[in-house]
Amino acid sequence: MRRTAGVYIHIPFCARKCGYCDFNAYSGYKEATKTRYVEALCREIESRAEPQTRVPTIFFGGGTPTELAASDLVRILQTVKATFCVDADAEITTEANPGDADPGYLADLRAGGGFNRLSFGVQTFDDRLLRSLDRLHSGNDARAAVQAAKAAGFANISLDLMFALPRQTMADWDRSLDTAFALDVPHLSMYALIIEEGTPFFARRERGRLPLTSEKTEAAMFARAMQRAVEAGYERYEVSNYARPGFQSRHNRIYWRNEEYFGFGAGAASYLGGARTMNERRPSRYIETVTTGGNLFVSEERLSPREAMGETMMMGLRMTEGVDLDAFARRFGVRAEETFAKEIARLSDGGFIEVAEGHLRLTERGLFVGSEVMLAFLP
Ligand code: SF4
């Protein structure tokens, strides 16, 4: 059968590494290295070409894709289009730093390349909080970026916002929400700050020098976002994602439905034919491996049917609609209600999940302890 898969492109460069970030992202690379990275990326895409494979979504993430020239992003996109069967109406997103979004750059992405969705890493509109996150843009840059994107013809714009930031009050969070709603974009992603091991923020917290919000305040901020976004006309369709009708992220739905995708670039993950692979992480080693024709995959894991089913449950519960139980049975040849009878009974009795309209989904109570419920389905 003809394969359908999303495409993810990783651009690992950032102007400066943020103190909370544990993504595969690096600052300080020279322009010449970036040029070699783009060459290597195009070569990797060509070497894994599948002209028959249907591609409904392409997502450029990072890092900061807009650290590259617009012409580089367009060239990478054209390489995907030349080597896969990209849908005429494919969703083509790039993440963008608000500080890079000048009108000419955005017009080149839109008109020259066919990008049709922008995801801005705004995080907050509060300059004091932005500085404390090591972000280089300002709240005004973010406002201007959205206006420039609209002027360049982008209708599908998403903003990433963060809450539970050090020293952030509920009033601060409310002001960021006010600004986001006033900008009238069709999609919002709103995540709590997570302190990951190995980051400068982690070290500061260990030394007692990171004034974090309490768990209670974090939960209240999550609830506030949910309530206010719905009042502003957004639908919550995933734990942390909100959209106006017709603007859900089609690319992210591929992940949440545990469907297939290619990942190109340093550290990018792919999920194809039941196997999960991971590319070489360091950009310099990635470039060298591609250039010398070596094996790019640093890990390759074939999932057992039980693991694949567990991941489908775990990811599917992130979506408000939950896991489609008939679709699950068609895909795996067994019913989730039988395979996971014990887990479903325990979590239903606790009031964390429910079955409604043929879907298994989180209840409001389950939403607030989300990851614990989802992890229950992994082997
Ligand atoms: S801009 Fe994003 S990817 Fe880059 S360092 Fe900051 S959080 Fe990480």
290 alpha carbon to ligand 1 midpoint, in Å? 25
| 228 in the same domain as 88 | yes
| 330 in the same domain as 244 | no
Judge if the beta carbon of residue 202 lies within 6 A of ligand 1.
Answer: no
How confident is the model over 120-158, as pLDDT tens digits?
999 999 999 999 998 989 999 999 999 999 999 999 999
C-alpha to C-alpha distance for 186 and 27, rounded to whole angstroms: 31
> Residue with the nearest Cα to atom 3 of ligand 1?
63
Judge if the beta carbon of residue 15 lies within 6 A of ligand 1.
Answer: no
Which domain range does residue 364 map to? 321-375
What pLDDT score was predicted for residue 193?
96
17 alpha carbon to ligand 1 midpoint, in Å? 6
- CB of 80 closer than 8 Å to CB of 104: no
Domain boundary among 215, 238, 256: 256
352 alpha carbon to ligand 1 midpoint, in Å? 33
> Residue with the nearest Cα to atom 6 of ligand 1?
18
Judge if the beta carbon of residue 24 lies within 6 A of ligand 1.
Answer: no
Task: For the chain, give the number of residues.
Answer: 379
Looking at the structure of the chain, the number of domains it has is: 2
107 alpha carbon to ligand 1 midpoint, in Å? 24
| 222 in the same domain as 83 | yes
Domain boundary among 202, 224, 256: 256
196 assigned to some structural domain: yes
C-alpha to C-alpha distance for 335 and 134, rounded to whole angstroms: 48
Domain boundary among 256, 279, 298: 256
What pLDDT score was predicted for residue 237?
97
279 assigned to some structural domain: no
| 220 in the same domain as 121 | yes
| 116 in the same domain as 229 | yes
| 120 in the same domain as 33 | yes
What pLDDT score was predicted for residue 2?
86
C-alpha to C-alpha distance for 248 and 232, rounded to whole angstroms: 16
Q: Indicate which CATH number applies to the domain containing 143.
A: 3.20.20.70
308 assigned to some structural domain: no
- CB of 286 closer than 8 Å to CB of 31: no
332 assigned to some structural domain: yes
Q: Which residues contact 283 (CB under 8 A, 6 or more apart)?
A: 12, 13, 26, 29, 33, 37, 266
18 alpha carbon to ligand 1 midpoint, in Å? 5
| 228 in the same domain as 79 | yes
Cis peptide before 121 (omega within 30 of 0): no
The structure's pTM equals 0.96
| 217 in the same domain as 131 | yes
| 90 in the same domain as 167 | yes
| 64 in the same domain as 206 | yes
141 assigned to some structural domain: yes
What pLDDT score was predicted for residue 113?
74
| 71 in the same domain as 164 | yes
Q: Give me the average pLDDT of each 10-residue run along the chain (379 residues).
A: 94 95 95 97 98 98 96 97 97 96 94 92 96 92 96 97 96 98 98 94 93 93 97 96 98 97 98 97 97 95 95 96 97 96 95 95 88 87
286 assigned to some structural domain: no
Q: SS3 string of the chain?
A: CCCECEEEEEECECCCCCCCCCCCCECCCCHHHHHHHHHHHHHHHHHCCEEEEEEEEEEEEECCHHHCCHHHHHHHHHHHHHHEEEEEEEEEEEEECHHHCCHHHHHHHHHHHCCCEEEEEEECCCHHHHHHCCCCCCHHHHHHHHHHHHHCCCCEEEEEEEECCCCCCHHHHHHHHHHHHHHCCCEEEEEECCCCCCCHHHHHHHCCCCCCCCHHHHHHHHHHHHHHHHHCCCEEEECCEEECCCCCCHHHHHHHCCCCEEEECCCCEEEECCEEEEECCCHHHHHHHHHCCCCCEEEEEECCHHHHHHHHHHHHCCECCCEEHHHHHHHHCCCHHHHCHHHHHHHHHCCCEEEECCEEEECHHHHHCHHHHHHCCCC
250 alpha carbon to ligand 1 midpoint, in Å? 23
| 334 in the same domain as 235 | no
What pLDDT score was predicted for residue 355?
94
Ligand 1 atom with least separation from CA of 97: 1
What pLDDT score was predicted for residue 371?
80
> Residue with the nearest Cα to atom 2 of ligand 1?
63
What pLDDT score was predicted for residue 94?
98
Q: Which of 13, 20, 23, 29 has most ligand 1 atoms within 8 Å of its beta carbon, as the pocket-test mutant?
A: 23
Both tokens assigned to 44: 């990797």
272 assigned to some structural domain: no
> Residue with the nearest Cα to atom 5 of ligand 1?
17
63 alpha carbon to ligand 1 midpoint, in Å? 5
Ligand 1 atom with least separation from CA of 134: 6
109 assigned to some structural domain: yes
